[in-house]
Amino acid sequence: MNHSTSNDWVARSLRSVWHPCTQMQHHEQMPLVAIKNARGVYLYDHDGKRYLDAISSWWVNLFGHANPRINAALKEQLDTLEHAMLAGFTHEPVVELSEQLSSLTNHVLGHAFYASDGASAVEIALKMSFHAWRNAGRPDKQEFVCVQGSYHGETIGALAVTDVALFKDAYGPLLRAARVVTSPDARNALPGETAQDVARRAAADVETLFEERADKIAAFIVEPLVQCATGMAMHDPLYLTLVRELCDRFDVHLIADEIAVGCGRTGTFFACEQAGIWPDFLCLSKGISGGYLPLSLVLTRDSIYQAFYSEDIRRGFLHSHSYTGNPLACRAALATLQIFRDDDVLAQNRVKSAAMMAALAPLAQHARVANLRQRGTIFAFDAIEPDANRVSTFSRRFFATALEHELMLRPIGRTVYLMPPYILDPEQIADLAARTRAVFETTLWN
Ligand SMILES: *Cc1c(COP(=O)(O)O)cnc(C)c1O
């Protein structure tokens, strides 16, 4: 038995671990939480304190921690095949997963290429798009277009199509500039405008750019329906429909980055379904393994796959990762898809989301709350912080207060959001909403 306390682990971690997306010095004031174990929607520290994981451990966990069905599938896979390389070899979990994902797109996106994290899936889509155009005799199509406020990961290529100043500015000189188009964020509506009007206006900006230089553009990359990392910016599905039409008309690939919004998060299995479109490339990661193991993939149309099919190795797609198609990760994904089928998850989530939104509704009346919004199981609102000096500390103050209320809830800037696992029961929904409201109230005075 290890009787170390949370404080012991925190002290050792701060001496040896470099934490992601963190100014380490802030931990002189801000708490670091040492998690010992987890079950269902709760994380437990070494002192027995529990936290409701209201943001699904960075948006990855769908069906709770230590999920019995995923655990059982993984234990069986562990005793069968833990890993085999995917060049020259194949195995049951990767074949089954590829077939099932293809069938979820009605076989429009018929081939799956695998990696281990979201940023790598984005890199793959960008490289594939460029290379497919070159194989098609159009080597000048080398540019990428992204949307204001976009987030596609933090490796050099993915960062180039990311438009979050904090992440991008520091490494600007290393990046190949992408073209950034107007955001379709429904919060940008002018007086009298609907979300669809904003979508039309934003799509017109894409059209202008395409008219000017589509012959130089390989692909347009977008986070369908919700731009999560910039602060849960939501747009009307019409934007995607219009962008799909423009990409078809101007010969530009459409890359849907569904790393955060896929796997049922927005109410349909793929967010693109709500716009009635399919992209040319679809990136998945985060929830696909149920939040268990690093896994990402890019689904592509058969026309893209065919553009690489040749005798010539240089016309093939030149990309690989050591753990491509890892059987354990694929097995976790298969168990996750099985739960979607067995439990009719999308239908259940509709009921749960309505209950959550009803429980959060009083916030819409709050004088310090703007833009209470929802898409699927993503809920968000913006705090109004009249004291300019307190804006930059809002997120940290909220996070610390949330921990005191046994909640794992970390705002993005002034945007408070919930992205809970799908397994909340009615009592937990009411409890989460009530505690979120209480934490917000306390944070305003802290
Ligand atoms: C998280 C995320 C990524 C990057 O995934 P990593 O696994 O963190 O590299 C890319 N795109 C979107 C939309 C994301 O939310």
Q: Which atom of ligand 1 is nearest to the CA of 58?
A: 1
Stronger pLDDT, 446 or 174, i.e. the higher one: 174
Per-residue DSSP letter, 40: B
Mean pLDDT across the chain: 96
Specify the 3-state DSSP secondary structure of 147: strand
Contact (CB, 8 A) for 134 and 310: no
- Number of Cβ atoms within 10 Å of the Cβ of 359: 19
Statement: the pTM of the whole predicted model exceeds 0.95: yes
Please spell the DSSP secondary structure of 250-276, one letter per residue: HT-EEEEE-TTTTTTTTSSSSGGGGGT
Query: What superfamily does domain 349-405+414-446 belong to in CATH?
Result: Aspartate Aminotransferase, domain 1 (3.90.1150.10)
Tens-digit pLDDT profile for residues 67-103: 999 999 999 999 999 999 999 999 999 999 999 999 9
The residue-averaged pLDDT of 409-423 equals 97
Is the fold of 71-342 the same as that of 349-405+414-446?
A: no
Specify the 3-state DSSP secondary structure of 412: strand
Which residue, judged by its Cα, is nearest atom 8 of ligand 1? Answer: 118
Tens-digit pLDDT profile for residues 301-347: 999 999 999 999 999 999 999 999 999 999 999 999 999 999 999 99
Contact (CB, 8 A) for 327 and 83: yes
| Alpha-carbon gap, residue 13 to 440, rounded angstroms | 29
Strand ordering across the sheet containing 35-39: 35-39, 42-45, 50-53, 407-408
Tens-digit pLDDT profile for residues 123-152: 999 999 999 999 999 999 999 999 999 999
2: pLDDT strictly greater than 70: no
Q: Which atom of ligand 1 is nearest to the CA of 154?
A: 9
Q: Which atom of ligand 1 is nearest to the CA of 296?
A: 7
Specify the 3-state DSSP secondary structure of 443: helix
Q: Is 260 in the pocket of ligand 1 (CB under 6 A)?
A: yes
Tens-digit pLDDT profile for residues 207-240: 999 999 999 999 999 999 999 999 999 999 999 9
Q: Which value, in Å, is the radius of gyration of the alpha carbons in the chain?
A: 22
Residue 371 has φ and ψ, to the nearest 5°, of 60, 45
- How far is ligand 1, taken at its centre, from the CA of residue 366, in Å? 32
Q: Identify residue 336 by its one-letter amino acid code.
A: T
- How far is ligand 1, taken at its centre, from the CA of residue 191, in Å? 34
Q: Is 226 in the pocket of ligand 1 (CB under 6 A)?
A: no
CB half-sphere exposure, 260, CA atoms < 13 A: 28
Question: What pLDDT score does 21 carry?
Answer: 87
Q: If you classify domain 71-342 with CATH, what class do you get?
A: alpha beta
- In the chain, % helix, strand, coil (3-state, to 5) comes to 45, 15, 40
Q: Is 297 in the pocket of ligand 1 (CB under 6 A)?
A: no
Question: What are the residue ranges spanned by the domains of the chain?
Answer: 71-342, 349-405+414-446
